[in-house]
Structure 1
């Protein structure tokens, strides 16, 4: 809706991960370096953790975009609450195997046969497991067992595990000692500071076609960072709403007053989760927010409906004004 008003070619702050909008902050570049290092090693596990909305999935999609398709076969598995048997079937499905039936031994045999076929074609298999904090310790151990498939001393599959901070608690368990010994690198993806938040916003605007002077004032950038805590998804949610407000109010620049006004409106939305409320320690352990992602998705759906409704109202208003103008002209002629 606001794209035409601001002369944009795309929505710069959509919530769905888009590798074409990948911004290399210090943290994201470091995490990407670890993933690329893991690819170069060709073995072991790489662990990347980060808060909800920190950009882990965008990181993965950016990695996939750079993979040599003639050398590496990549499979992306987004886990839910899976036990040890389910994880094997999910891995097989992610690898593209059809008609996965039979017991655990049968599924393992099919996965191993597929991995050996890939090796015979001089191709490596990379498995990326997203939302790994949802896995039980037994399910994670099954992933380690898959790394035992080898040709000579060369592993047939390598795994990258990405999850929220609580996944580190799972990895500390005594029954995952052997997996920890195979982790060649791990990294925690933190939030961006105020300067990076500003650079992130400006980068996404330019990528979407913005060519004017700064769309946000200095105090607006400060307010955005203070509210979002430097979490990309929260920045996107707020900035998308700000551009909608700017379009409706015909603003050429958005300041701190407008940012605080939109923040107040968002805090009144039932589907909205405040970043300060979404991050709370539980019993001294790492932070757990079960419904945050769902709430943000519901908020985006509501926002899209609001945009459609506002668009229809504006269209109808223009039609009424046009009819009134025509009527006035006709009356003046008579």
Structure 2
């Protein structure tokens, strides 16, 4: 939207990691050097950690883009609470190794055969595991066991583990002792400083054809952006994207600290409002679930159905999808229906049926 106003060829502050926008700060250059060193060693594990939005994924994608596919076969895996039972199949899938209906022994054999064939063809295998802090200890142990695959004295697989700061603490656990012995280098990617923040913003703008006067940033604008984001690249992207949008809407070519503060205050207010709405929806949903449970308790079969976790989850989803007013209206209708049904069930029994029952008793 603002690109044409500022004569930019594209969005400079998109949130999706794009190696074309890679910015080599001191920290990012050092992290890249560790990764390249690891590739040169062709064994063990390289561990890179950093805050959410620090640029870890962009760093890795930038490295992968440099690799010669004729020499290195790289596979990337994003872990989401992966346990040992799944990690091997996901690794196999990442490398394109068929794993359907294979038990663990056959799966390991298939992976080893694939890795040996790569080495025989003069290639190397690299596994990049993103969000490594989500791996269970058993899953990490499976990855360590894969690093045992060797052909003569050459390791068949090298792994990069990329994670958030808590992964550093996880690595210090007693269960990780054997993995730590396989780590040949590790680095924590920190935030940008104020000068790097300025250079980062200008770097991304120049990548889309920016001229310094459209828009221009005052010195206090860069300082305000740094204060608001603590030098975290993703936060910088989010704030600067909104800043350019605000500048476009108010037709401003010169952006100062005041505009940055206004946008930051607006974003904070939106965040607070969003949290308040979420809380209100949660309260309404809980109230709705309680009313459903009270009504359902009057009908044994329905009460038993709601005890089932899957059915309860469906009721919970329904409560979240409707606002409070609609939930109240539906529940009132449900109460009326249940009340009518109970009256019918508790009404007088047909007299002929009663006489037959008396005869049977006598």
Common fold by TM > 0.5: yes
- Counterpart-to-counterpart distance in 2, 1:75 and 1:45: 15
Larger Rg: 2
Alpha carbons of structure 1 residues 192 and 49: separation in structure 2 relative to 1, 3 Å? same
Over aligned residue pairs, what C-alpha RMSD do you find? 1.6
- Give the superposition deviation at 1:273: 10
Contact 1:266 1:272 in 2 (8 A): no
Structure 1 window deviating more from structure 2 (116-125 vs 229-238): it is 116-125
- CA distance in structure 2 between the partners assigned to 1:272 and 1:125 by the alignment: 48
- Residue 25 of structure 1 is matched in structure 2 by 25
Task: For residue 113 of structure 2, give the secondary structure of its aligned residue in structure 1.
Answer: helix
Contact 2:89 2:99 in 1 (8 A): no
In the alignment, what sits opposite 1:243? 244
The number of equivalent residue pairs is 274
Unaligned runs of 5+ in 2: 276-362
Contact 1:101/1:107, CA 8 A, preserved across alignment = no
Task: Name segments (4+ residues, structure 1) moved above 4 Å.
Answer: 271-274
CA contact (8 A) 1:133 1:170 kept: yes
| Per-residue deviation, 1:271 | 8.3
Query: In 2, distance between residues paired with 1:171 and 1:272?
Result: 38
Pairwise CA distance, 1:272: 9.5
Query: How far, CA to CA, are the matches of 1:29 and 1:153 in structure 2?
Result: 31
2-structure distance, mates of 1:271, 1:240: 20
Q: Contact conserved, 2:73 with 2:125, CA < 8 A, in 1?
A: yes
Alignment match, 2:259: 258
Contact 1:50 1:190 survives alignment (8 Å): yes
Equivalent residue for 2:172? 172
Q: How do residues 110-189 of structure 1 correspond to structure 2 at under 5 angstroms?
A: 110-189=110-189
Offset at residue 99 of structure 1 (A): 4.6
Measure, in 2, the Cα distance between the counterparts of 1:169 and 1:83: 19
Partner of 2:281: none
Give the drift of 1:120. Answer: 1.2
* Matched residue, 2:48: 48
How does the TM-score come out when normalised to structure 2?
0.74
Does the residue aligned with 1:9 lie in a helix, a strand or coil? coil
